[in-house]
Amino acid sequence: GRFNCWRKKGSASWARTAAVWVATMERTKLSILQRPTDLLLVALQCYFTYSCLFIETNYCAEPLRADHEVPIMKLTYEYSLENNPLFLSRPDWLRMATCFSAYGFSPFYIASIVCFLFGIEGIRGPGLIFIGAKIYAIATYWVMEFSSHLPPPNLANFVAPEGPYIFAILYMLFRFRTAHPFSKKATGAHAKTT
């Protein structure tokens, strides 16, 4: 009798512990409308994707020129002529780095757009790895630019197009500071498990 009573109490205790544990695992996904500042990052990632697909792929394929048939490449030529002579000169290392950016980074930009829009938290781990790669790429690029024989003549104009990348890196680091960037602990009886 005593043993059965103890066993029942023990089972009840384990059941309560399991219920508490399950409750802590339940999370409510936050829609993109509940995370309005994430829309800014989505917009930036769209801009980065556009840059990869329509500027960097063209730069990877051929030198910049004033009579390019693609309008954005004409603008890139004019910008580089005034503000980034090294980019205009297209050394091999910079061409290869741009090719890697165009074809290597663009899939992550697209993935991050989807994950931030739909709150897919699995992006956090790969995202942190990507951020490390992006920091390394930008740091290397800037060092090579400013230590080259053709440094940027106008610092502000050179940094302006790079600003969105720096902001996106800092914002993603901030958003990925927790294991669950797109959800919160569930409360109430109608909690959703994510």
Q: Which carries the bigger pLDDT value, residue 36 or residue 22? A: 36
- pLDDT at position 186, please? 80
Q: For residue 85, what are the contacts with CB-CB under 8 A and spacing of at least 6?
A: 150, 152, 153
C-beta of residue 26 within 8 angstroms of C-beta of residue 192: yes
As a whole number of angstroms, the distance between CA 95 and CA 104 comes to 14
Answer whether 0.85 is exceeded by the pTM. Answer: no
C-beta of residue 99 within 8 angstroms of C-beta of residue 56: yes
- DSSP bridge pairs for 184: 28
Percent with pLDDT over 90 in the chain: 80
Q: Tell me the pLDDT of the chain averaged across its residues.
A: 89
As a whole number of angstroms, the distance between CA 159 and CA 142 comes to 10
Q: For residue 20, what are the contacts with CB-CB under 8 A and spacing of at least 6?
A: none
Question: Which tokens is 84 given?
Answer: 């980034």
As a whole number of angstroms, the distance between CA 49 and CA 178 comes to 26
Tens-place pLDDT, residues 167-187: 999 999 999 999 999 999 887
